[in-house]
A and B are shown apart, each in its own frame.
Chain A
Amino acid sequence: MAPSLCAICKTERALIKRPKNYTKLCKTCFIQVFEDEVNHTIKSSNLFHPGEKVAIGASGGKDSTVLASVLKTLNERHGYGLDLVLLSIDEGIKGYRDDSLETVKRNAAQYEMPLKVVGYDELYGWTMDQVVETIGKKGNCTYCGVFRRQALDRGAKMLGIKHVVTGHNADDVAETVLMNLLRGDMARLSRSTSIVTGDDKSEVKRSKPLKYSYEKEIVLYAHHKKLDYFSTECIYSPEAFRGSARSLIKQLERVRPSAILDIVRSGEDMARLVPGESGSSCACKGQKTSAPATVEDDISGCGSSQGGVVPGGEMAAMDKQLRENEEHAGLEIDISKKISESKQGGKETTEKAIPIRGGNPASKSGSGPRQVLGNCKRCGYMSSQEICQACTLLEGLNKNRPQIQL
């Protein structure tokens, strides 16, 4: 095959074929276009304001490393005037997080950004290793995800920062749209497409500037810019459902690469149809800036390829995993039941047990009353329920702690 030339500069050899529109680009033009598009997303959704202090949720993986690199570049190039800080969460998983934290430390030096590491142990009194010891490997991602969402916010608060950006990409959003579609959870589907979550009332807002960036291009950007990132799967992560949705997305991409952004856009369009919710989209399409979504509904971006070994897009296998996932949802509800029972035992002022919103369609809010955002009565964290998910999970964990705490 004769090498093709870059569609933009027409002089260099094309090395990249863009999944969104099949344009062939050379390395230099690709890097420029990738950065320009992220800048466009940021500008058109008014993501930042000058002088804003922004924490980058940094795991040491490809997405957050690329996010840090691109934000540093754009901040300097376009004079955003941002004060950027790396914020890392130490879940307490030996042999996984130890190594990736080393990567984040190198990133901090490479990008000349301060780094703050917050541990689950200091925040919750539990490391993920201890959680798994107590509850086993099944369902532990639920704990990790719930804890992580709060951990980033709490870490940001410690630093006096009101805005956390995460490396969620178009593939992540498409995956979440698909999962919520399969669960029939339109309310959550609509929120998951939002570029910003949290609003003026919440202490910390979240956003995902790479929302429209393909995972493939993120990896290629990291490769061609020779970024230093870490890529080992979480040792506890086989979260079957997200894994299989991920496999499906990748298979769709293989057949028709534009499918990923098409799913993201479909998600945004569907979001507009959900009463009382409005998904954000690029402001250049004439939409208002994003409506806030509750923090607890933010996507977790966790999950593994290993859990989703589904050859050839077999929907049967997907269906089986869907059912398994419902069992997970059952687990969540069980925990809240336990709490209500214990409370009736008279340990504390009785409050109504609030089930965590799981994947059970019967409990969906679609036509029900809209949830009101308040604060957790225990930890004060923003929550649509009286007791936030993290405190609910912690209560269950603390009951099962094998030894008495000193």
Chain B
Amino acid sequence: MGSTTKETPEMIPITVEFSGGLEMLFSNKAKHSISIPSKNPTSKSPINIGHFIRYLVDNLITDDRTDLFVLEDHLRPGILVLINDADWELEGEEEYEIQSGDTILFVSTLHGG
């Protein structure tokens, strides 16, 4: 094993959950335990929710209708984000820096009731 793999990004384990119909876009699975790079690959800054949303579109979404999740590179209005059960509006929204072990829940409010 050479040490040439030092470029391998550090990964952090998190839990991401989808509900309110969003699970349909992510392999019909409500809860995903995944590891994500701790730094944003381009800016090398700690990964935040904004980066993470892009990461999900690039890596986890299984449905072609990505516009049901993001619109113009931002989360689609009407989808709530809870970071460890707290409204992301209390945590800095896209700027929140993800910590190891965080649980991030995306809930759609857009479906009929």
Contact = CB atoms under 8 A, between A and B. Distances in A.
Interface of A: 1, 3-4, 13-17, 24, 27, 59, 61-66, 167, 169, 171, 215-216, 218-220, 223-224, 229, 231-234, 237, 246-247, 250-251, 253-254, 301-306, 309, 311-312
Contact of A304 (B77, B90, B112): B112
Interface string B47-82: 000000000000000000101100110001110101
Interface in B60-113: 65, 67-68, 71-72, 76-78, 80, 82, 85-87, 89-92, 96, 105, 107-113
Contacts of B77: 247, 250-251, 253-254
Contacts of B19: 223, 231
B78 A250 contact: yes
A167 B91 CA distance: 30
A72 B87 CA distance: 27
A329 B19 CA distance: 35
A233 B86 CA distance: 26
B96 A63 contact: no
Contacts of B65: 306
B65, B68, B77, B91 — which one has the most chain A CB atoms within 10 A of its CB?
A: B77
A61 B19 CA distance: 12
A246 B86 CA distance: 25
Contacts of B82: 15, 223
Contacts, number: 104
A306 B68 contact: yes
Given A1-B96, A231-B111, A250-B77, A17 B87 contact: yes
B24 A232 contact: yes
23 contacts: A3-B90, A14-B86, A15-B85, A15-B90, A16-B90, A17-B90, A62-B109, A62-B113, A64-B113, A171-B109, A215-B113, A218-B113, A219-B109, A220-B80, A223-B107, A232-B111, A250-B76, A250-B77, A251-B77, A305-B68, A306-B68, A309-B68, A312-B72
Given A219-B109, A253-B78, A301-B113, 11 more contacts: A64-B113, A65-B113, A66-B113, A215-B113, A220-B87, A224-B85, A231-B19, A231-B20, A231-B111, A233-B21, A237-B112
Nearest to B92: A1
Interface residues of B, number: 30
Contacts of A17: 87, 89-90
Contacts of B78: 246-247, 250, 253, 305
A15 B87 contact: yes
A156 to B, nearest CB: 19
B110 A250 contact: yes
A15 B89 CA distance: 9
B68, B72, B85 — which one has the most chain A CB atoms within 10 A of its CB?
A: B85
A395 to B, nearest CB: 28
A15, A231, A254 — which one has the most chain B CB atoms within 10 A of its CB?
A: A231
B91 to A, nearest CB: 6
A66 B105 CA distance: 20
Nearest to A63: B113
A132 B84 CA distance: 43
Contacts of B110: 246, 250, 304-305
